Amino acid sequence: MSTSDVPARLSVLFVCTGNICRSPTAEAVFRAVAHQRGWGARVHVDSAGIQGWHAGEPPDERSQDHARKRGYELSAQRARAVRLDDFQRFDVLVAMDRSHLLELQQRCPPDLRHKLCLLPADVSPGHVEVPDPYYGGPDGFDHVLDLLEAGCSRLAENLEARLRL
């Protein structure tokens, strides 16, 4: 691939159930990773939920608090549901777990399913499933951040190699 083939922008959508815990956190983490790599201005990052239950609401306060302690700010984000046009608009759609990936595969036009994935594992081939911290205690939110920091770094490496960002 020559430099002229590299897209001017890369767009990534992170998807969880309601877009109030995992995916907004992933959005903030990936945005920070892209910025650290020096290509943040070329990347559009967003998040959405499989369900629209929380549309218009900010991320869960616990997600915001735990993210803020690590330097990520989520307060400006608002929940929304995945829309059909997201499959066309985004280059990569990252599901937080296999149930989200399955739902995305069912909704996605067949010719665009190559855009769907889980987070890549940080140390070995494979993928990471990010558990929902909503019904658990504070440790769950920290665990989610640990997984997202490692997974988003690996995702950035994979995209950088593929797209030469």
As annotated, the active-site residues are: 16, 22, 132
b/e per residue 124-145 (b: at least 16 CB within 10 A) = eeebbebebbbeeeeebbeebb
Amino acid at 13: L
DSSP-assigned beta bridge partners for residue 47: 14
CB contact set of 25 (below 8 Å; sequence gap of 6+): 59, 63, 67, 72, 74, 144, 145, 148
CB contact set of 111 (below 8 Å; sequence gap of 6+): none
Q: Give the Cα-Cα-Cα angle 147, 135, 82 (nearest 5 degrees).
A: 65
- Strand order from edge to edge, sheet including 92-95: 43-49, 10-16, 92-95, 116-120, 127-128
